[in-house]
Amino acid sequence: MGLDVKWALDWLKLSAKAMEEHRVELIELDRAIGDSDHGENMDRGFQAVVQKLDETPPETPGAALKAAAMALMSKVGGAAGPLYGTAYLRAATSLGDTNDIEAEALAAALAAARDGVVARGKAELGDKTMIDAWTPAVKAAEKAAAGGADSLAVLEAAAEAAEKGAMATDPLVARKGRASYLGERSAGHRDPGAASTALLLRAAAEAAAGSTGDTGADAV
């Protein structure tokens, strides 16, 4: 069995928990090179996501991600709203009506999400944005899926690559977003968007570990 709606719900709820726990950290990252609202915006946005999912429980992972997209686009306020909103929306479209996401489809959904962020934000790899976490994550996920890994292993590979990608933004000079106004002074700080992307993908892997654990499936 691949991942189902329970995984999607767990993912979004663990995401909300991660945003709450890392709120101050993200605010501080954003204070260094942006407008210091990222942690607060993401926390508020994911609270709205959880509320919406509780009000209208979705039946498929795609429906869950679509509901999350709408909530994020309406409640986040900053650039992260339309960016993450588009990411979840494109992932939802890529998944369709399935309730059984296998590794290949999962990697394809992550790629669709990343493509959505690129289309919306027009950033490229190395611009010191969330793309620097998304793109390594997608590459790692595609490689894992092609190598026969299961959904959990795909997400773990993606999360690890996103974390490394986020750390690798530290020395970069920002070329997109509010941080780009700082020019050279943006170097030496981690990009808050890349940091939140790594947290969200880690939550996806944790949710998958929980889901597969519940069903007694082999976690590797």
Partner 1 sequence: MTVGIVVVSHSSKIADGAVELAAQMAPDVELVAAGGTDDERIGTSLEKVLAAVEQSLVDSGGDGVVVLTDLGSAVMTAESAVEFASDPDAVLLADAPLVEGLVAAAVAAQSGAGVEDVRKAAEAVAFGNVPAGVGGPEIPDNKGEPDASGDFELINPLGMHARPAAKIAGGLSGLEAEVTVNGVDGMSIMALMALAAGKGSTLRVEASGKDALKAVEYVGRLVEEGFGEL
Site residues, partner 1 (CB under 8 A):
37, 41, 70, 73-79, 81-83, 85-86, 120-121, 177-178
Which residue lies nearer to partner 1 by CB, 11 or 84?
84
Closest CA to 152 of 217, 60, 64: 217
Which residue lies nearer to partner 1 by CB, 22 or 90?
90
How far apart are the C-alpha atoms of 64 and 12, rounded to whole Å? 8
Which residue lies nearer to partner 1 by CB, 61 or 85?
85
How far apart are the C-alpha atoms of 43 and 184, rounded to whole Å? 29
Nearest distance from residue 204's CB to partner 1, in Å?
A: 22
Nearest distance from residue 147's CB to partner 1, in Å?
A: 35
Nearest distance from residue 4's CB to partner 1, in Å?
A: 27
Tokens of 1: 């069995």
Nearest distance from residue 66's CB to partner 1, in Å?
A: 11
How far apart are the C-alpha atoms of 140 and 105, rounded to whole Å? 14
CA distances from 190 to 64, 120, 142, 164, 193 (A): 30, 22, 25, 11, 9
> Where does residue 12 rank: exposed (0-12), middle (13-18), buried (19+ CB within 10 A)?
buried
The residues, ordered by sequence, that sit 6+ positions from 74 with a Cβ below 8 Å of its Cβ are 48, 81
Nearest distance from residue 51's CB to partner 1, in Å?
A: 13
Which residue lies nearer to partner 1 by CB, 41 or 169?
41
Which residue lies nearer to partner 1 by CB, 36 or 167?
36
Which residue lies nearer to partner 1 by CB, 2 or 82?
82
Nearest distance from residue 203's CB to partner 1, in Å?
A: 23
Query: 101 by DSSP, 3-state: which?
Result: strand
